[in-house]
C-alpha cells in the first residue's frame, strides 16, 4: 500500500516514512503543499498524511482542491494546532481524519488502517485468473502441480495485471505503481519483466497470457479469447 506524506518538517516527515516503511507500507514524502497536491492528484496513493501548516499551499487548500478534482484518496490531517476550529475546517474541506501532533506511532498506524479499510479495500491472500494462482504472501505463482517463485518486481507487475484481468494496463501505470512516481526507470524494463513473466506462464502451462496492446500497454486474457 502506498502512502503520501506531506510534511514540511523534514525530520518528522522522515520519521513518518520510517514508521510507515517498518509497518509494511511504501511511503513517499514531499515537503510543501503544492508538490503534495501534484503528487496526490495522480490518484496513485492509497492514503495521504497531510500537515495543515505547509509552505506554498496549506493542507486545507490541498484537500479542497483534491476533492474538487474528484480525488477521493483518504486524507489523515496532521497538525500541531489542536483548536476545534481547525478540526471543523479540516473535516469540512474533505479530510477524513484528524490527528494532532505529537502523536504515538501506534495511533497513527491504527487510524491509517481504519482509513484504508473504509475505502473498501479487501485484504486478499491470493489472486486467481484462469488456471493461475498468485499467492500474495509468498509470491508463488502456480498452476496445477507446478509452481514458481516470482522476484519482487515480477510479482508487482503480475499482481497489477491479475487484479485487473481483461483490462488494458499502460506501461506508465505499471512504471508508476511498481517503480514509483520518482523513478527514472525506462519503459523497456517493463517489457523485460513482462518477457520474464511470459516465460514463467509458459512453463506453468497457463491458460492465460499477457497480451501486448499496441500503443496502449498490456492485458491479461484467457488464451482462448
Contacts to Ca ion by CB under 5 A: 8, 51, 53
Q: How far apart are CA 50 and CA 90, in angstroms?
A: 11
CB of 9 to Ca ion, least distance (A): 6
Specify the residue, 3 or 78, whose C-beta has the smaller distance to Ca ion.
78
CB of 52 to Ca ion, least distance (A): 7
CB of 54 to Ca ion, least distance (A): 6
CB of 61 to Ca ion, least distance (A): 14
**Kind and range of the H or E run holding 192:** helix 188-203
- What residue has cell string 474541506? 93
CB of 88 to Ca ion, least distance (A): 19
Cell numbers for 64? 479542497
Specify the residue, 17 or 143, whose C-beta has the smaller distance to Ca ion.
17
With CB atoms as reference, the residue minimizing the distance to Ca ion is: 53
Neighbouring CB atoms inside 10 A of 195's CB total 10
Q: List, in order, residues 6 or more apart from 134 with CB less than 8 Å away.
A: 126, 127, 128, 140, 141, 150, 155, 158, 159, 162
Specify the residue, 50 or 206, whose C-beta has the smaller distance to Ca ion.
50
Q: How far apart are CA 222 and CA 76, in angstroms?
A: 40
Specify the residue, 51 or 221, whose C-beta has the smaller distance to Ca ion.
51
Specify the residue, 8 or 46, whose C-beta has the smaller distance to Ca ion.
8
Decide if 49 contacts 4 (C-beta within 8 A): yes
Specify the residue, 86 or 221, whose C-beta has the smaller distance to Ca ion.
86
CB of 143 to Ca ion, least distance (A): 51
Exposed e or buried b per residue across 14-37, where buried means at least 16 C-beta atoms within 10 angstroms of its C-beta: eebbebbeebebebbbbbbbbbbb
Closest CA to 220 of 204, 201, 205, 203: 201
Specify the residue, 8 or 187, whose C-beta has the smaller distance to Ca ion.
8
CB of 84 to Ca ion, least distance (A): 19
For 94, how many CA atoms within 13 A lie in the half-sphere containing its CB?
Answer: 17
Amino acid at each position: 500500500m502506498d502512502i503520501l506524506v506531506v510534511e514540511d518538517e523534514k525530520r518528522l516527515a522522515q520519521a513518518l516514512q520510517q514508521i510507515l516503511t517498518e509497518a509494511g507500507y511504501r511511503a513517499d514524502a514531499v515537503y510543501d503543499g503544492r508538490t503534495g497536491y501534484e503528487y496526490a492528484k495522480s490518484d496513485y496513493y492509497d492514503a495521504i498524511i497531510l500537515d495543515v501548516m505547509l509552505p506554498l499551499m496549506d493542507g486545507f487548500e490541498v484537500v479542497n482542491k483534491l476533492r474538487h478534482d474528484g480525488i477521493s484518496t483518504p486524507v489523515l490531517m496532521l497538525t500541531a494546532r489542536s483548536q476545534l476550529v481547525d478540526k471543523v475546517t479540516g473535516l469540512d474541506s474533505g479530510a477524513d481524519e484528524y490527528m494532532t501532533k505529537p502523536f504515538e506511532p501506534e495511533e497513527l498506524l491504527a487510524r491509517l488502517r481504519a482509513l484504508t479499510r473504509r475505502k473498501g479495500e479487501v485484504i486478499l491472500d491470493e489472486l486467481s485468473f484462469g488456471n493461475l494462482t498468485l499467492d500474495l504472501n509468498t509470491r508463488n505463482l502456480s498452476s496445477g502441480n507446478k509452481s514458481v517463485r516470482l522476484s519482487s518486481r515480477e510479482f508487482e507487475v503480475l499482481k497489477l495485471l491479475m487484479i485487473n484481468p481483461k483490462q488494458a494496463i499502460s506501461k506508465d501505470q505499471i512504471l508508476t505503481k511498481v517503480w514509483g512516481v520518482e523513478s527514472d526507470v525506462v519503459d523497456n524494463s517493463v517489457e523485460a519483466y513482462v518477457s520474464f513473466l511470459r516465460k514463467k506462464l509458459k512453463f506453468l502451462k497457463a491458460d492465460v497470457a499477457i497480451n501486448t496492446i499496441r500503443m496502449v500497454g498490456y492485458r491479461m486474457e484467457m488464451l482462448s479469447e
